[in-house]
Structure 1
Amino acid sequence: MFFDSWLGLLRVLVVGTLAYGSLVLLLRVSGKRTLAKMNAFDLVVTVALGSTLASILLTESVALAEGLLGFALLVGLQYVVAWGSVRSVRVRRLVKSEPRLVLWKGRFLGEAMRLERVTEDEVLAALRGSGEADPGRIEAVILETDGSFSVVPEAPQQALALTRLAGRPET
């Protein structure tokens, strides 16, 4: 239970070092977009890469070559999805959600919050996290495609970052 063998420890040390080095190299070659958390697919790839690394490290039945192929497959699929979403509106709509406005000019947008399953308490927590306690002094709170909140303080009338949001009320 506490110690199996020196050979097992040596395997973890050698295979772990090689797998980790290979993953770092693969991520450097594939670019920053591979680990971006811009949508649900990005999160799945990040978690799957970690899970694959853990499997390589701790499961003797998973050979290093199989794990490296798993890394390459995940990164390759991520590349294909990102490539497709940049070049095709149809693919982009399939894999990415739109940011949604949940608070506008100090007013909670109840329907948008229901659609996104967000509570007022969660929006207020985002406000506190941004250093603002008064919703009335906030232009907008946006639920981003990665699930995070963006808090925009009072802004000029035609702020570009606020023009392409789902559920934006007419002014």
Structure 2
Amino acid sequence: MLITLIRTLILYIVVLICMRIMGKGEVAEMQPFELVIMLMIAELAALPMGDTGIPLMNGVIAIIALVFAQVSISIINLKSEKARSIISGRPSILINKGQINQKELQRLRISLNDLVEQIRAKDYPSIADVEFAILETNGDLSIIPKANKRNPTLEDLQLNAGYEGLPISLIIDGHINYDNLKKAKVTEKWLLDQLSAKGIRDPKDVLFSYIDASNYFYVQKKQQK
């Protein structure tokens, strides 16, 4: 039992490191070859976990080899447009200038019901609202609506928007983030004064607090037990 636990923890750490090496985009937006590698890594990690008769290094070496292959293919994709089209494929235009591309739907074996369902999932109730629908290489459907169906922007309304920037977290679950205090160019004394002005004496009573680019200070207290 102890050996199985140790082998499982080792393989977990190895797979976690491999996922970090493969990049943050792997889980969110996987290409077909990336999905295959993920499935194979999961299988290779599961075998040594369940069977102590399989040498642990066999699984580790195989996983490392797959990660090396994935990184190599990703580099090739970056360097060569032709290789990228072969490995990852090319986007497919399913709706072109408001017209459904029937041949492309048949080639990809996508029914009209599936297309309509995906368009509704993108908050467009009707195909008539869509100028272009593009099936990306990762399987996601990108929608470009017709001009009269697009949400107006501040530029369309001839309005100027101020710079928003990113809010900087100062306190999370009662702990002050001193690195973020430096990024926000504020001191701990300033933070404590802001809390005091809102009736909070101890930062440990704060669930979450941040400051934005306009110097707006937000704070939420923890709920009393």
Pick one of 131, 134, 148 that aligns with 1:142. 134
Instruction: State the secondary structure of the residue aligned to 2:103.
Output: helix
CA gap of 1:29–1:78, structure 2 versus 1, over 3 A, is closer
* Aligned-residue offset at 1:142: 1.4
Whether the 8 Å contact between 1:106 and 1:138 is mirrored in structure 2 is yes
Greater relative contact order (CA < 8 Å, ≥ 6 in sequence):
1
Task: Choose from 107, 117, 121 the match for 1:115.
Answer: 107
Q: 2:125 aligns with which of 133, 144, 160?
A: 133
Q: Which has the higher strand share?
A: 2
For 1:98, the equivalent position in structure 2 comes to 90
What's the CA shift string for 1:10-37, capped at 9, x where partnerless? Answer: 3331111110012112322343355564
Cα distance change, pair 112–29 in 1 and its aligned pair in 2 (3 A):
closer
Match of 1:19 among 6, 11, 22: 11
The structure that has the greater radius of gyration is 2
Unaligned stretches of 5+ in structure 2? 149-225
Query: Considering only aligned residues, what root-mean-square deviation do their CA atoms show, in Å?
Result: 2.1
The match for 1:154 is 146
Q: For structure 1, which segment, 56-65 or 71-80, has the greater mean C-alpha deviation from structure 2 after superposition?
A: 56-65
Tell me the matched-pair count: 148
- Residue matched to 1:74: 66
- Which moved further from structure 2: 54-63 or 42-51? 54-63
Does the Cα contact within 8 Å between 1:138 and 1:152 map onto a contact in 2? yes
Q: Residue 5 of structure 1 aligns with which residue?
A: none
Residues 19 and 124 (structure 1), Cα distance of their counterparts in 2 relative to 1, 3 Å cut: same
Higher helix residue share: 1
The 1:47/1:93 distance shift into structure 2, 3 A limit, reads: same
State, as a whole percentage, how many aligned pairs show the same letter. 22
Aligned CA distance change for structure 1 residues 61 and 90 (closer, same or farther; 3 Å): farther
In structure 2, how many angstroms separate the alpha carbons of the residues matched to 1:36 and 1:91?
22
**What SS does the aligned partner of 2:83 have?**
helix
TM-score (norm 1): 0.76
CA distance in 1, matches of 2:34, 2:92: 19
The amino acid that maps onto 2:64 is: A
CA distance, structure 2, for counterparts of residue 149 and residue 137 of structure 1: 15
Report the CA distance shift for 1:29/1:93 in structure 2 as closer, same or farther (over 3 A): closer
Alignment CA distance shift 1:122-1:140 (3 Å): same
SS at match of 1:49: helix
